[in-house]
């Protein structure tokens, strides 16, 4: 019984890995490790904002029309809830990958 359960867990892990890379085919495991989805980022909640910023000192976050509208978020929440993309100034590598894959909206 234990052998069957172990085999099922291995199969489940393999299936999840295949699904993950089917959804994000251009990311390598190294790139996923470089940009963990739980990492804190900064976003402006203003009406024209579209990027998230890994660096609080980014000159682009200073463009936020009111300092009270700068929010700390996780990268995952910034992408999924706030529909933000990586900043081209303080997140150049990630921005380049998004551009290469046609994921940028601005």
Q: What is the pLDDT of residue 31?
A: 54
pTM of the model: 0.63
Mean pLDDT calculated for residue range 78-94: 90
Mean pLDDT calculated for residue range 8-37: 48
- The distance from CA 56 to its chain's CA centroid, rounded to whole angstroms, is 16
DSSP-derived secondary structure for 4-22: HHHHHHHHHHHHHHHHHHH
Q: What is the pLDDT of residue 25?
A: 47
In angstroms, the CA 74 to CA 78 distance is: 6
> Where are the domains positioned within the chain?
1-26, 35-100
Please say whether the beta carbons of 51 and 84 come within 8 A. yes
């Amino acid at each position: 019984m234990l052998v069957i359960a172990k085999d099922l867990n291995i199969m489940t892990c393999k299936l999840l890995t295949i699904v993950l890379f089917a959804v994000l085919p251009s990311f390598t495991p190294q790139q996923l490790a470089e940009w963990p989805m739980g990492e804190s980022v900064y976003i402006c909640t203003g009406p024209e904002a579209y990027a998230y910023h890994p660096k609080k000192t980014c000159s682009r976050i200073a463009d936020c029309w009111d300092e009270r509208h700068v929010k700390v978020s996780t990268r995952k929440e910034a992408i999924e809830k706030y529909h933000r993309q990586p900043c081209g100034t303080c997140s150049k590598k990630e921005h380049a990958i998004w551009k290469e894959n046609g994921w940028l909206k601005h």
